[in-house]
Structure 1
Amino acid sequence: MLQILLVDDEKDALEALEWKLNNYIENVNVTTCNSPLKAVELINNTKPDVVFLDIQMPEMDGFSLIEALEFRDFNLIFTTAHDEFALKAIKVSAIDYLLKPVDKDELLAAMKKIKKSEKNNLLENKLQLLLNNLNDNNDKINISADGKVYLLEKEDVIMLKSDKSYTTIFLKSEQQIVVSKTLKEVEKKFQFPEFFRVHNSYLINLNHVKEYLKGLGGELIMTNGLTASISRNRKTELFNKLYLD
């Protein structure tokens, strides 16, 4: 019997998909979860055969959920009403998806494909390909947050600030994006010359530094008026990058 987990923050969507699976598909045991944070623990512990995963969820989007998993040896099907760009990236990565509301015939076809194959032990490679496709344009930085995938221009990012297990990205437009990941994790997306980690809590865009305030470690005033502390052990390298004496 196939063990299936449905992850979606929308109760109606969960109930509708659960009903279709139970009524149209034989030999399945369906479990539902409306919290992506709880779903991470559930997947790691119960090790389902199939996971139907929504992308747009408030606590943690589908991409972030996958990245947080230890267990990934299952068949994955995204259930989403996401934008065309993300769907193209998912399709190119050979990961299945169903558009909501889920069509009966498309669901039957997806499940038929799964029952003919073994569990997908190449999911890790497909997920990496997906992330690469989402960030195919090197001038863009893809950030998963708020149930969306933001495609950011490097020059629009002023700085990133750590708040324990969360990271806030400050943009030129004064918009703030809160990511449910540590700064160390998010920093991997910002491996460009203009970004520099000046402190355990701050990653800045060097092109947005407005002033340097002298002090024990010192502080930077950014173009949006916010300040970023400087660690003493980062000071020399920062001065070299900013051509300061």
Structure 2
Amino acid sequence: MMTIAVIDDEQHCTDRLLALLQPYRDEIETVCFDTVDKAVRGIEIMRPKIVFLDVQLNEKTGFDVLSSVSHRDFCLIFTTAYEKYAIEAFKFSAIDYLLKPIAKEDFENAMRKAFERVEQNHLHERINVLLSHFSKENTTKRISIPSKEGYSFLNITDIVRCEADVNYAHIFTSDGKKHTVSKPLKYFEELLSRHGFFRIHNSHLINLNSIKAYAKSGYVTLSDNTKLEVSVRRKEAFIKVCKGV
């Protein structure tokens, strides 16, 4: 029998998850907690295999739960109302989340991945990546990159450029490595634009801090000596960004 923990301070949200879990009742046992303290104690004692964790818990947050538990051998699924910044952090860490009100189809997809234990790999490190994006300290931000072996964890500042390859993206880092991810370039553009990245071409997203030179002919040279063309329609915006306009 698999134990599933539902951590939420709003009863109607807890009831919604319990209703969605009903089809699994013969193979699971559910436990519910409505405060950070209860959740921490419950996780340590009950050792759930799947945890549904609300972002906001009274005056505290689900991140307080994660920072306090020593047992992290579970599949983590956040539940949250729409908060763009929080969702961005989930994407950086590759941690699953469900938007409230929770749709049945989204829930079933999350459960399928949980049962396959897809989302459990390297959870401890992915939680650390997540927490780094909520830290008020000036810490180096990182991103979790899915790979065949599990995940790679990259400092955002080490990414030189990203290159499109149909529905894949190749990420090139300052150590000369290439990481291939089954995500389109637009996915990384949306994540990295606030972190000093600019899409100079349909196929290329670059780290502005990695620019070595820019020629009037419309080509930019990066720190790894890659030379790329800035598309005509993006050139004006690119020059403004470089000038800080």
1:18 pairs with 2:3: no
Q: Distance in 1 between matches of 2:6 and 2:69?
A: 15
Q: Which runs of 4+ in 1 moved over 4 A?
A: none
Q: Distance in 2 between matches of 1:82 and 1:36?
A: 21
- Assess, with a 3 A threshold, how the Cα gap between structure 1 residues 101 and 24 changes in structure 2: closer, same or farther: farther
- Assess, with a 3 A threshold, how the Cα gap between structure 1 residues 59 and 137 changes in structure 2: closer, same or farther: closer
**Structure with greater contact order relative to length (CA < 8 Å, sep ≥ 6):** 1
1:69 pairs with 2:69: yes
Extract unaligned runs of 5+ from structure 2: 140-245
Residue 21 of structure 2 aligns to a residue whose secondary structure is helix
Task: Count residues with an aligned counterpart.
Answer: 141
Residue 72 of structure 1 aligns to a residue whose secondary structure is coil
The residue type paired with residue 6 of structure 1 is V
Shift of 1:134: 3.1
Give identity over the alignment, percent.
37
1:3-24 CA-to-partner distances (Å, cap 9, x unmatched) read: 1000000011101111111136
1:3-60 CA-to-partner distances (Å, cap 9, x unmatched) read: 1000000011101111111136762222211222111000001100000000111142
Q: Distance in 2 between matches of 1:89 and 1:52?
A: 17
Residue 57 of structure 2 aligns to a residue whose secondary structure is coil
1:107 maps to 107
1:128 maps to 128
1:61-103 CA-to-partner distances (Å, cap 9, x unmatched) read: 1011110111111000000114101111111201000001111
- Assess, with a 3 A threshold, how the Cα gap between structure 1 residues 80 and 97 changes in structure 2: closer, same or farther: same
1:8 maps to 8
1:104-129 CA-to-partner distances (Å, cap 9, x unmatched) read: 00000010111112782521100111
Contact 2:113 2:119 in 1 (8 A): no
Q: Distance in 1 between matches of 2:120 and 2:128?
A: 14
Contact 1:73 1:121 in 2 (8 A): no
2:85 maps to 85
Contact 2:80 2:100 in 1 (8 A): yes
Contact 2:95 2:119 in 1 (8 A): no
Mapping for residues 173-184 of structure 1, pairs under 5 Å: none
Contact 2:8 2:34 in 1 (8 A): yes
Normalising to structure 2: TM-score of the pair? 0.53
Normalising to structure 1: TM-score of the pair? 0.53
Deviates more, 1:50-59 or 1:129-138: 129-138
The residue type paired with residue 85 of structure 1 is Y
- Give the alignment's Cα RMSD to 1 decimal: 2.6
Q: Distance in 2 between matches of 1:12 and 1:83?
A: 20
1:32 pairs with 2:39: no
